[in-house]
Structure 1
């Protein structure tokens, strides 16, 4: 998969100090690494389990998207707002260094919400506008919100990236290939923590929809749900992977053929060294070694992904 999210060059510069009232806005922004999947091994060996290698590749893609989304708003963390209007903070507008003829600004609003432990939500928007069109209004490049729990660094949030909207107004989005919109939601207030990503691509794309769901436990174990299309057999499968791992690194991944009533198509288990302890494929009967005692996990009993918001677990 091509890199979906390039960092947006905001061209920000320091402009004063934060006030105490600005801290709520700072704390609402997810930090680098906070929404990333933690697969223990960073490097595979030459004979790593096939499904471990696939899992590691998808984790890398997942983390790149999470890191870039955080980067879109993280650049305002170290500088004070350009202006303050009651419960609103504004950074910019600044000229877009990457795209002459465009300006960028960031808005953040604090909204009272007695239904959450902190008593408020924070919403934020990254917006662009053309400087070549008289009276052009700002349009949302990205929108997000965050509801803190009792711990300011823990809570529930969401982010939405509106690429087609940018195409419609002429903003350059060539780095985003065929992406139409990317939606992310997360909850970090308690374990297991959950991150959900959904990418909608243009109708002409090979993969029109891509979904990732990640769940992280307090002991360092994790689960990643993801869908891919493969042609490793004569007839292609739309595969749904459920990949799970322990804090030690041992893990298991199961692939289900979605277009064949969720038929189990393959399983790999691996030890802490990432080498396969079990490998089974539906089309390779003579080669299969399928002994469940060699796996760190039993076969999943539930193929549904965890949720972090209304409908976020639907596929």
Structure 2
């Protein structure tokens, strides 16, 4: 994401700042902010430990009262999720600090300027409006080329609904195109694309992030975060090649975790492939992250332990 931040500094250094019309603010408010997209994770409690699900072998061996390793997975994944969000939004948030270079009734342009951190390239940021829809692009071209040569590294859309800050939007980072244009992108060399789709108009809000690996040799990696009334949170992601049970194959699993602001939570792990394909594991934990209930669908002799009533009410997140 360094290239996005550097491009922003270039734009900020070359433009005048601080003089915005009300119409400018309408454009700027269509850009997502960190608080719109970042996962609001529960505060870690003292006494938590554990190595995460990928470090657990020979089955989901956990006892009541022990620290849930699903909590660790959720926190680590949530932090990585927020790091990716921060990388994309650094540019958009800094754009708010400088005035547009060009103003038209339904168009704003910042630039073009020479990109000092990538010699030989020009950079500009363009936003267009059609009624309540906004489209924007961070564009590059080689210095000296004409207007037909601009290409978008970052693009986004936002459809406003019931207020300029509420609606449906998307962000797309086209790393493959950057490689084709010989634009420096070494920090993103493992990807072809990074896509974010979000909706903030109704509860529960949703943010979905998709990483598309370089060359399409492996499947895209998906993460989804949702937030409901009462600051209830949910994170869903996949964990391939996980050793859940003793057998000849590893399991591909999908983990959905939900949590309350005080740290209490629930995890549901579904096996997509492997020795126990179709199996489901459920676990609940208290504010200290310690297991209060668990259920293993494949265990006929001891399918549940603990008290199911200790699981928080997350019905506001049901689909």
- Is the TM-score greater than 0.5? yes
* Offset from partner CA, 1:85-114 (integer Å, 9 cap, x none): 3311000122323322222110000112xx
Deviation, 1:228, is: 1.7
Range with greater deviation from structure 2 (248-257 or 288-297): 288-297
The CA distance in 1 between the partners of 2:300 and 2:167, in whole Å, is 47
Contact 2:113/2:122 (8 A) holds in 1:
yes
Contact 2:242/2:252 (8 A) holds in 1:
no
The CA distance in 2 between the partners of 1:149 and 1:127, in whole Å, is 27
Contact 1:52/1:268 (8 A) holds in 2:
no
Within the alignment, does 1:249 sit opposite 2:285 as a pair?
no
**Map of 2:49 onto structure 1:** 46
Contact 1:103/1:129 (8 A) holds in 2:
yes
The CA distance in 1 between the partners of 2:299 and 2:242, in whole Å, is 15
SS at match of 1:34: helix
* Structure ranking higher in helix proportion: 2
**Map of 1:137 onto structure 2:** 149
SS at match of 1:75: helix
Within the alignment, does 1:36 sit opposite 2:51 as a pair?
no
Within the alignment, does 1:209 sit opposite 2:216 as a pair?
no
Which of 71, 84, 95 lines up with 1:65 in the alignment?
84
For the structure 1 residues 96 and 280, does the alpha-carbon distance in structure 2 shift closer, same or farther, using more than 3 Å as the test? farther
Aligned residues: 291
Within the alignment, does 1:296 sit opposite 2:311 as a pair?
yes
> CA RMSD for the aligned pairs?
3.0
The CA distance in 2 between the partners of 1:97 and 1:283, in whole Å, is 59
For the structure 1 residues 83 and 42, does the alpha-carbon distance in structure 2 shift closer, same or farther, using more than 3 Å as the test? farther
**Map of 2:202 onto structure 1:** 190
Which of 86, 95, 102 lines up with 2:121 in the alignment?
102
TM-score, normalising length from structure 1? Answer: 0.82
Contact 1:32/1:70 (8 A) holds in 2:
yes
Matches within 5 A, 1:1-315: 5-6=1-2, 8=4, 9-10=6-7, 11=10, 12-13=12-13, 14-16=15-17, 17-42=19-44, 45-46=48-49, 48-112=67-131, 120-131=132-143, 137-203=149-215, 207-233=218-244, 235-259=249-273, 263-278=278-293, 290-293=305-308, 295-297=310-312
Contact 1:155/1:188 (8 A) holds in 2:
yes
Range with greater deviation from structure 2 (280-289 or 75-84): 280-289
Range with greater deviation from structure 2 (141-150 or 7-16): 7-16
TM-score, normalising length from structure 2? Answer: 0.81
Deviation, 1:125, is: 0.5
For the structure 1 residues 292 and 179, does the alpha-carbon distance in structure 2 shift closer, same or farther, using more than 3 Å as the test? farther
Which ranges of structure 2 fall in alignment gaps of 5 or more residues? 51-66
For the structure 1 residues 292 and 241, does the alpha-carbon distance in structure 2 shift closer, same or farther, using more than 3 Å as the test? farther
The CA distance in 2 between the partners of 1:238 and 1:226, in whole Å, is 11
The CA distance in 1 between the partners of 2:45 and 2:98, in whole Å, is 36
The CA distance in 1 between the partners of 2:2 and 2:309, in whole Å, is 41
Decide which structure has the larger Cα Rg and report it.
2
Larger RCO (CA under 8 A, 6+ residues apart): 2
The CA distance in 1 between the partners of 2:313 and 2:307, in whole Å, is 7
For the structure 1 residues 106 and 211, does the alpha-carbon distance in structure 2 shift closer, same or farther, using more than 3 Å as the test? same
